[in-house]
Structure 1
Amino acid sequence: MASRDLFQLSGTWDTALANARQHCDNMMQSIGADPVTGDIFIAQVAEGGSATGNICLNRIDPWTGQNTGSMHLNGFGHGYQIGVQHIDGKSYVWTEAGPVATKLSPSGKPVAFGTRVTRVLFNPGKYDLTMESTGTSKPFSTPFRPTLAEYPGHLAYGCAPTVDPVGHRLTIRFELKKQLSDGTFDDAGWFYAQYPIDPATGNVSGNLTRWTKSPPSSDPGAAHIYGTNFQGFASCGDYLYLYTGSKTTPANPDPDDTYITALAWPATSGQRATIAHAQKITALSELPAREPEGLAVTTVGTEAKLLFGIGGYEEPRLAAVCYVSTAPSVEGIRAYTDWLDLAAPAVTRATLQGRLIEVRGSTTLQLRGSFTCDLSTHTRVATLPAPLIPSGPIRAIVARNTGSSHVACRAEVTSAGELWIHGAGPEDRITWIDLGGFSAAWN
């Protein structure tokens, strides 16, 4: 199955979400995606909740870019990684769970992380969950703390989950520590463990499938993983992906250290993972203030997408999500999206659509659909869905009714996603347009 293949990290990336507003003003921490609805979930630390482990979950409609709901998880953790499942028509979010353990950030501030993981029913606006919630109708699963038989007496800290919708596995990242008789701790390092998911019911088994560790810091090929910030992880098939990198600062406006690293799960459980590919990420480098945040895998048909988040530091702190895909190229053409409907309330008896494709390494926006109108000046006629919105204006010539010797007009898509038609005048009215000729480079 093609979606189990290694993502071509050096290939063309595209934008799944741009300028998404979150419920809180804090930076995004992680992302996840519902593989059925396509909704993108963003976790962030709630206002004033860093030391107490309060997380805010946001649900973003990828087609409109609108925040369609949020909920708070108080005392759960930092939200540095989440996973999403779709079960019985509802979205469930895997996240950290308390009791939390705090550690000091580089600036000396206490930051709380979960010591377990749990699955939460996403139910926006109905409650602020706390780890002390009781009763048989508790809206989250019994918190689970991973253990490894090879490390007796060690306890897991910094636990965080992600979901592989292709291999049907839950992967948990955690640090193992054991308190010694003198009060100090034996730190065994960071681990990744997988547990099977029943694809029919969505239930997760507690039976460990396999576990691994990252390559050691002494490995020359792994140097970029260490000495910078860990920003997320994901697993798809037989590959584990790590996201690392620093935020921009006035003193360091271009850290140039953001990477996605693909690790091959070892054939034997317990062995270290090996690096299959490491790719420097330069997506959205034009943003004046940015930080890599969050990694996730979702599916589209028989293919998979690796989503990676980028948070903005300027107020308001908006979120962007980019992706690479396993979709194959056919005769030099790769379709990144299906045909998506444009919002065109003034257009009747016609459907306007757009899609993104790759043609010989270049991403192209295509539009289609014809409609009647009565334009006497430049006019906005439609709005593109969020996945198709470019970072800057793009233009193409499209067919129109014959008038004043003109048989074509200019169509322009703005960075706000608006489709404008130019060239009409009081003496040269445009009454019919065919978008089929719109094909332009997209970025």
Structure 2
Amino acid sequence: MTLSRRGLLAGTGAILAAGAVGAPASAHPARTTALPATKRFTMSATTNEFFRHKPLWGPTVMQSMAFDTPNNRIFTAQLRSGTEANSGTLTLSRLDFSGTVLGHMYLTGFGHGVSIGAQGVGSTSYLWTETDVDTANGRGRQICRFPWQNGATLTKDSASLTKWKPVANGSVFTPAVDQRYGRLGVRHSLSDGMHINVYSLAAAQAGDYSNVLASFKQPALTPGIDFQGWALYGSYCYFWEGEAYPGEPDETKANSKLWCYDINQGKIVDSFLTLAGKSLTYREAEGMAVYGATDATARLYFGFASGVTGDRRANFFYRNDLV
């Protein structure tokens, strides 16, 4: 991550920013336990490599990833090369499963791209991102949904964009789509830190955020290590952290860590310090997403940026053991 997320995106000390009034928004309720219990990914399971050192549409660091499972499409987000970091200008790439770029979009005035979501509706891929950038911190003040349009440039006011502010007093919004269970997670900042609300995906895309299925404050992760992504799958939430390091030859120097949070129990139930991709040059943890329509096909992906300045690359690894 080219901008430090310490303080801004950690579990405490997050910045509040003013945002525009959106569609029906929820107040922040107490944590609920309304999600049916599901299996979870094992953080210490065997690491599988998906692809390594692939170029995206542009030479900057990948920030996040998302899968349109029904259509077997991958999408990534990164800050657009040659733009101001806090302008919220993003590049989206569409990739196939070999890591080859098949298309791109530009998003102007959106945010930092810490997390994006993808949703397949028939043959169309809809993307969920932050939008309405606060140029004071480069983060979005709302979330939005729009269809993939290869080669298009969208602004925060484009007609194809639908946007909402799900939590009236929240800021620093990022979405995560749980396609398997039909849910949308919304990570956001409140005065006491980062929180996550879970909604029905169908209700959310219709603009109804009045029914919060679950709500919790993000637990404390590793102090001083940058937050790099999150994902939602069933009754669990996953977090990804780490900082750029020129290879991690042993556990005493490792800082890239996977976390699993049980939403119903309200606590971290698993974590693992990974050495995946330890030979990569630069090796910065970036992006997390889930692929799969069943437990048998489900994979928890986590990414790294690699390469040198001006030629950054994307790397995908995954876990697929559930308990």
> Do these two structures clear the TM 0.5 threshold for a shared fold by scoring above it?
yes
Closer, same or farther: CA 157–302 of 1 in aligned 2, 3 Å: same
Partner in structure 2 of residue 60 of structure 1: 95
Per the normalisation by structure 1, the TM-score is 0.60
Counterpart Cα distance in 2 of 1:291 and 1:113: 20
Q: CA RMSD in A?
A: 2.4
Give, in whole Å, the separation in 2 of the partners of 1:203 and 1:18. 38
How big is the shift at 1:289?
1.5
Task: Spell out the pairing of 1:10-409 with structure 2 (5 A cutoff).
Answer: 10-47=44-81, 48-62=83-97, 64-103=98-137, 112-125=138-151, 127-133=152-158, 138-141=159-162, 143-147=163-167, 155-176=169-190, 187-198=191-202, 205-206=208-209, 207-215=211-219, 217=220, 222=221, 224=222, 226-248=223-245, 255-266=253-264, 273-299=266-292, 301-303=294-296, 304-314=298-308, 316-326=311-321
Query: Is the 1:14–1:322 Cα contact (8 Å) retained in structure 2?
Result: yes
Q: Deviations over 1:408-431 (max 9, x none)?
A: xxxxxxxxxxxxxxxxxxxxxxxx
Which amino acid is the alignment partner of residue 107 of structure 2? Answer: L
Kindly state the Cα deviation for residue 327 of structure 1 after the two structures are TM-superposed: 6.5
1:18 & 1:313 partners in 2: Cα distance?
11
**1:167 deviation in Å?**
2.0
Instruction: Provide the C-alpha distance between the structure 2 equivalents of 1:288 and 1:21, rounded to a whole number of angstroms.
Output: 14
Contact residue 110 and residue 130 of structure 2 kept, 8 A = yes
Q: Any gaps of 5 or more consecutive residues in structure 1?
A: 104-111, 149-154, 177-186, 268-272, 329-443
TM-score by length of 2: 0.81
Are the aligned partners of 2:241 and 2:258 in contact in 1 as well (CA < 8 Å)?
yes
CA distance in 1, matches of 2:72, 2:124: 12
Does structure 1 retain, via aligned residues, the 8 Å contact 2:86–2:135?
no
Letter in 2 for 1:238: S
Does the 8 A contact of 1:197 with 1:204 survive in 2? no
Identity of aligned residues (%): 27
**What is the distance in 2 between the residues matched to 1:99 and 1:230?**
19
Partner Cα separation in structure 2 for residue 91 and residue 113 of structure 1? 24
How much does 1:302 deviate? 4.4
Query: Given the superposition, is the C-alpha separation of residues 17 and 300 from structure 1 closer, same or farther in structure 2, using an over 3 Å criterion?
Result: farther
Instruction: Name the CA distance, whole Å, in 2 between partners of 1:69 and 1:38.
Output: 14
Structure 1 contact 120–139 (Cα < 8 Å) conserved = yes
Per-residue deviation, 1:163: 0.6
8 A Cα contact 1:311 1:320, kept in partner: yes
Change (3 A) 1:34 1:290: same
* Residue type of the alignment partner of 1:265: I
Inter-partner Cα distance in structure 1 for 2:121 and 2:80: 26
Gap regions ≥5 residues in structure 2: 1-36
Q: Give the whole-Å Cα distance in 2 for the aligned partners of 1:145 and 1:259.
A: 30
Code of the residue aligned with 2:59 in structure 1: it is D
* Kept after mapping to 2: 8 A contact 1:93/1:120: yes
For 1:15 and 1:205, the matched residues in 2 are separated by 38
**C-alpha displacement of 1:78:** 0.6
Alignment check: 8 A CA contact 1:117 1:161 kept: yes
Aligned residue type for 2:109: G
Letter in 2 for 1:261: W
Check conservation: 1:6, 1:239, Cα contact below 8 A: yes
SS at match of 1:19: strand
Say which SS state the counterpart of residue 317 (structure 1) adopts: strand
Using the alignment, how far apart are the partners of 1:198 and 1:287 within structure 2? 40
Give the Cα separation in 1 of the matches to 2:208 and 2:181: 14
How many residues were matched structurally? 281
Contact 1:49–1:55 (CA under 8 A) maintained in structure 2: no
Q: Do the aligned partners of 1:20 and 1:60 also contact (CA within 8 Å) in 2?
A: no
1:308 positional shift:
0.5
How far did residue 265 of structure 1 move? 0.4
* 1:335 match: none
Residue by residue over 1:66-103, the C-alpha shift from the partner in whole angstroms, topping out at 9 and shown as x without a partner, is 10000001001011100100012111111001042423
Instruction: Please say if residues 51 and 317 of structure 2, whose CA atoms lie closer than 8 Å, have aligned partners that are also in contact.
Output: yes
| CA–CA separation in structure 2 for the residues paired with 1:202 and 1:321 | 29
More deviation, 10-19/303-312? 10-19
Structure with the bigger RCO (C-alpha within 8 Å, sep 6+) is 2
Aligned AA (2:299): K
